[in-house]
Amino acid sequence: MSYKNTCKIFGSNFVLVWKQLAYLCISAVLCIGLSYLIALPTINLLKAEGWIDSVKNMFETVYTSPSSLNAAFKEVILSLMQILSSHFGAYFFSIVGFIISAVLLPLFLNNIAEYNICYLATNKISSNIKLGYTSSLISNLKNAILYSLLKMLIDVLFIICTVCLFVVYLILSKGVVLTILMLVIYFSLSIMLSSLKMSLTASFAPIMIEENTGAWKAFLKSGKMSGRSFARTLSCAIVVNLTVMFANMFLGVFTIGVALLITVPASVVFIGIFKTTNYFTIEGKSYYLSDNIIVEPKKSNQKV
């Protein structure tokens, strides 16, 4: 029911996607500009070592020799790691700074946006009140920052797990059949990891907002609440992640990346609405599905 109602609420509040797009554009300009400036010494190093040319050659293999694409990709990754490790001391600040500005900073800003979407969704479905995106973002910035910092503890842990999976994929993928098999396994496990993370943090923001609870207390309570209705939340999270993945992949490919301008911000809005409706469903709190329809879910009584 959470997924179905999420789709309905998302459709009736699609205007949030355009506002989220504006936020992401500003964030992208900030992160890309900062990352480029910080990584410029490392970029010059990679050019000098010939790594940039090897990346160009790898893309050419897509058209000239598709069967060798996987081998070329692994070679590019390994050569990158070898170059960075051999020059790590001299380019420490550039490499670490790039990781912070290109990975952690976007993650931090995305979590702030997610909190804001949850806040807007909570007010909409609980009281049928529409709030302004920007005014809500500014007035709740302190709580959003605390939420983002704590959630990043979980995000970073799962990013490390996903990277480890990717390394295993690179090691084991040999030959066309095995490569395809390992790719399917990699994507399947990545979806499961992402869904598990979403399940563990699904109630975090809604608890802070609806129950007016501090960030750390809400963080701990979210984990307990996830255990109370874990199977239901996880199954819905898998469907949500598959929806987001296919929307971004297929629409992005068919439109040569243009559709990503819509699907990426739509994904943030969709996930935020899902987390809000899932919390109301687990807690058995009635909420507005539309202006004239109120949903009254039955509270989950499963013990942790």
pLDDT digits (tens, 9 = 90+) for 264-282: 999 999 999 999 999 999 8
Cα separation of 93 and 96, whole Å?
Answer: 5
Positions of E strands within the chain: 287-288, 294-295
286 in helix, strand or coil? coil
* Chain segment 137-195, per-residue pLDDT in tens: 999 999 999 999 999 999 999 999 999 998 888 788 777 778 788 888 999 999 999 99
* Chain segment 199-231, per-residue pLDDT in tens: 999 999 999 999 999 999 999 888 777 666 788
pLDDT of residue 210: 92
Residue 66, pLDDT > 60, answer no
* Chain segment 74-109, per-residue pLDDT in tens: 788 888 889 999 989 999 999 999 999 999 999 999
pLDDT of residue 300: 63
- At 61, is the pLDDT very low, low, confident or very high (cuts 50, 70, 90)? low
Instruction: Give the distance, in angstroms, between the CA of residue 157 and the centroid of all CA atoms in the same chain.
Output: 13
Selected residue with higher pLDDT from 57 and 219: 219
pLDDT of residue 304: 38
Q: Provide the angle, in degrees to the nearest 10, between the axes of the packed helices 15-48 and 105-127.
A: 170
CB of 13 closer than 8 Å to CB of 273: yes
Q: Give, in degrees to the nearest 5, the angle at Cα 117 between 110 and 163.
A: 30
List the one residue out of 190, 172, 191, 192 whose CA is nearest residue 182. 172
Instruction: Please name the residue that has the structure tokens 């992005």.
Output: 252
Q: Which amino acid is at 115?
A: Y
- At 301, is the pLDDT very low, low, confident or very high (cuts 50, 70, 90)? low
CB of 282 closer than 8 Å to CB of 229: yes
Section 111-133 average pLDDT: 94
- Mean pLDDT over the full length of the chain: 88
Selected residue with higher pLDDT from 61 and 189: 189
Rg (CA), the chain: 21
pLDDT of residue 228: 67
Q: What ranges do the domains of the chain cover?
A: 2-295
List the one residue out of 34, 26, 74, 33 whose CA is nearest residue 54. 74
